[in-house]
């Protein structure tokens, strides 16, 4: 009836309001968290499964919430990723990652760190300028110690802008990886246009690869594609020895996942790296 239709319309609207209020509250709380230094980066290694070499570490944000404990990004990113605070977070992450590179180096570990940059932050006109400032302050221009991870969806949303941005970052010595590859809608044409250095195969394909012929075909296809385009290809979500063996058989040497190591606090990462044997 008309009445029901109206009610459901209002129900939907109220619900949207509730979500907006909740997000607003979270943004406010998150600003405090940044100011109070409640955020911390954990690091997950990316390794060459053939040589055992550690090729990098991905920085993954965690929130030491005073009441709720250690929160993974899924608990707060959705609420803040469309607010300007996501730019402040990204800025902090870049600075923190550069400090970590230096700290590890003093401890004898040289490993580049990749940081996740959210779509909204990539759109910010000051992104490259801020990145350059951070690199300069850290004395790290053109030193290949930082990499950015961009999701496929963010990249094709504004192809011209992102293409230029990737080139500008590369000119500063910061290569780009296309994250979650395979889950978006990018065509081969987009891939050809985007000057990225690395493809990260989304973990959903890796996790199902052993029992799902289609996922196996996708993984195999992406590896072939990467080779044809002269890109590095990394598999994420490598949880088992089987995953590793399948990937090696398909020609993908680089992997990241719980089967190698989980994301770890910086000190634990250093310990892990000292004892790691493939």
Q: Which is nearer to ligand C2E, 80 or 138 (CB)?
A: 80
Residues 70 and 64: beta-carbon distance below 8 Å: yes
Interface residues toward Ca ion, by CB under 5 A: 116, 149, 179-180, 208, 212, 215
CA-based end-to-end distance of the chain: 66
Is 74 an interacting residue with respect to ligand C2E (CB under 6 A)?
Answer: yes
What angle do the packed helices 2-35 and 85-106 form, to 10 degrees? Answer: 40
For the CB of residue 209, give the shortest distance to ligand C2E in the complex, in Å: 13
Number of residues lying near ligand C2E (CB under 6 A): 23
Rounded CA-CA distance 235/61 in Å is 20
Which range, of 14-22, 73-81, 99-107, 162-170, touches ligand C2E by CB under 6 A?
Answer: 73-81
Is 257 an interacting residue with respect to ligand C2E (CB under 6 A)?
Answer: yes
For the CB of residue 22, give the shortest distance to ligand C2E in the complex, in Å: 19
Is 118 an interacting residue with respect to ligand C2E (CB under 6 A)?
Answer: yes
Rounded CA-CA distance 196/207 in Å is 25
Of 77, 131, 138, 172, the residue at the interface with ligand C2E (CB under 6 A) is 77
For the CB of residue 78, give the shortest distance to Ca ion in the complex, in Å: 15
Q: Which is nearer to ligand C2E, 37 or 192 (CB)?
A: 37
Q: Which is nearer to ligand C2E, 5 or 37 (CB)?
A: 37
Is 247 an interacting residue with respect to ligand C2E (CB under 6 A)?
Answer: no
Rounded CA-CA distance 115/49 in Å is 22
For the CB of residue 81, give the shortest distance to Ca ion in the complex, in Å: 14
Is 114 an interacting residue with respect to ligand C2E (CB under 6 A)?
Answer: no
For the CB of residue 5, give the shortest distance to ligand C2E in the complex, in Å: 38
Is 116 an interacting residue with respect to ligand C2E (CB under 6 A)?
Answer: yes
Which residues within the stretch 182-201 sit at the binding site for ligand C2E (CB under 6 A)?
none
Q: Tokens at residue 237, please?
A: 């979500």
Rounded CA-CA distance 196/175 in Å is 7
Interacting residues of 201 by C-beta distance below 8 A, sequence separation 6+: 181, 182, 219, 222, 223, 233, 234, 235, 236, 252
Is 179 an interacting residue with respect to ligand C2E (CB under 6 A)?
Answer: yes
Helices marked H in the chain? 2-35, 77-80, 85-106, 119-123, 127-137, 152-157, 159-171, 188-193, 203-208, 213-228, 241-250, 266-275
Rounded CA-CA distance 2/203 in Å is 46
| Eight-state DSSP code of residue 33 | H
Instruction: List the single partner that 212 binds among Ca ion, ligand C2E, none, CB under 5 to 8 Å by kind.
Output: Ca ion
Is 263 an interacting residue with respect to ligand C2E (CB under 6 A)?
Answer: yes
What does the binding site for ligand C2E look like in residue numbers (CB under 6 A)? 44, 59-61, 72-74, 77, 90, 93, 116, 118, 149, 179-180, 203, 236-239, 257-258, 263
């Amino acid at each position: 009836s008309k009445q029901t239709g109206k009610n459901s319309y209002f129900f939907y609207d109220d619900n949207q309001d509730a979500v907006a209020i909740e997000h607003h509250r979270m943004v406010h709380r998150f600003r405090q968290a940044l100011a109070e230094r409640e955020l911390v980066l954990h690091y997950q290694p990316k390794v060459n499964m053939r040589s055992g070499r550690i090729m990098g570490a991905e920085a993954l944000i965690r929130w030491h919430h005073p009441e709720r404990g250690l929160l993974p990004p899924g608990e707060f990113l959705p609420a803040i990723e469309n607010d300007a605070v996501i730019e402040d977070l990204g800025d902090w992450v870049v600075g923190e990652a550069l400090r970590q590179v230096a700290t590890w180096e003093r401890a004898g570990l040289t490993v580049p760190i990749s940081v996740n940059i959210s779509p909204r932050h990539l759109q910010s006109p000051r992104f490259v300028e801020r990145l350059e400032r951070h690199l300069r302050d850290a004395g790290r221009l053109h030193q290949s110690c930082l990499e950015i991870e961009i999701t496929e969806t963010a990249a094709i949303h504004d192809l011209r802008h992102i293409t230029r941005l990737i080139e500008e970052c590369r000119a500063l010595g910061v290569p780009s990886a296309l994250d979650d590859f395979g889950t978006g809608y990018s065509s081969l044409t987009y891939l050809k246009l985007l000057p990225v250095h690395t493809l990260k195969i989304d973990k959903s394909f890796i996790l199902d690869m052993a029992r799902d012929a289609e996922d196996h075909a996708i993984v195999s296809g992406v590896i072939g594609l990467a080779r044809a385009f002269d890109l590095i290809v990394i598999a994420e979500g490598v949880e088992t020895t089987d995953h590793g063996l399948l990937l090696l058989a398909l020609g993908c040497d680089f992997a990241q996942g719980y089967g190698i190591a989980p994301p770890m606090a910086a000190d634990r990462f250093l310990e892990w790296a000292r004892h790691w044997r493939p």
